[in-house]
Amino acid sequence: MILVVYYSWQGHTEKVAAALAERVGAGLAEIRPVSEVGMFRKGMMSMLGMRAPIQPVQADLADVDHLVVATPVWSRKIPPYVNEYLSRVTNGRGKPFSVLAEMGGSGGENAIAIVRKALEAKGMRFVSSATTIESDVDAGRIDRTIEEFARTIAKAPMPAV
Ligand SMILES: Cc1cc2nc3c(=O)[nH]c(=O)nc-3n(C[C@H](O)[C@H](O)[C@H](O)COP(=O)(O)O)c2cc1C
């Protein structure tokens, strides 16, 4: 089972995550904040790498063969809700993961590196990453990126049992 987990405040990451999940036949799970903090704190908490409370969401990967984390880029980093999710991940050891970063224009590689470091610290194995740009999502120009990213996920060997 491939699981695409995403957080999306304004809907762009959700669109990309849903398109990817459909393309690879994955389950889709949304990271929902307990409450959205204000704009200033969004920027600040992301910049400082902080966490913020989220509602229950699948973080136990016992039944998952490949995890995809889809996140917006905030302050060239990732939202506090995604940090919280990453800290909750269990039973990921030896399993492959991929990362998708959705952004206004810059900082995607840095955001991807943050997710990568957090999951590799849990013994997971990085497979691939992709970035999308807000204006491309709005214009419906993400098909090729999704297609190429999906191919890297489908090709990845499943974990040994
Ligand atoms: C607090 C905050 C910080 C942001 N920082 C960045 C940034 O550093 N680089 C960037 O390219 N876009 C940045 N953005 C823009 C978002 O990444 C972009 O709007 C993205 O499409 C949002 O995804 P969503 O619609 O799923 O919430 C920021 C947005 C917010 C709200």
Domain boundaries, the chain: 2-155
What is the residue whose two structure tokens read 């762009």?
12
pLDDT cut 70: percent of the chain above it: 98
Ligand 1 binding site (Cβ under 6 Å of any ligand atom): 8-14, 42-43, 72-76, 102-107, 134
65's tokens: 């063969």
For residues 89 and 3, give the distance between their C-alpha atoms in angstroms, rounded to a whole number. Answer: 12
Region 81-93 average pLDDT: 98
Region 112-126 average pLDDT: 98
Q: Cα dist. 52→41, 45, 70, 98, 132 in Å?
A: 10, 8, 17, 23, 25
Q: Please, what is the average pLDDT of the chain?
A: 97
Q: How sure is the predictor about 63, in pLDDT bands with cuts at 50, 70 and 90?
A: very high
pLDDT of residue 156: 85
B/e letters for 59-86, b = 16+ CB within 10 Å, e = fewer, are bebeebbbbbbbbbbbbebbbbbbbbbb
Distance between Cα 46 and ligand 1 center (Å): 11
Q: How sure is the predictor about 58, in pLDDT bands with cuts at 50, 70 and 90?
A: very high
**Class of the CATH-defined domain 2-155:** alpha beta
Cβ neighbours of 108 (radius 10 Å): 23
pLDDT of residue 159: 67
Distance between Cα 112 and ligand 1 center (Å): 14
For residues 85 and 124, give the distance between their C-alpha atoms in angstroms, rounded to a whole number. Answer: 15
pLDDT of residue 55: 98
Nearest atom within ligand 1 for CA of residue 107: 9
pLDDT cut 90: percent of the chain above it: 95
Q: How sure is the predictor about 157, in pLDDT bands with cuts at 50, 70 and 90?
A: confident
Query: Pocket of ligand 1, candidates 74, 76, 132: which has the most ligand atoms within 8 Å of its Cβ, to mutate?
Result: 74
pLDDT of residue 161: 54
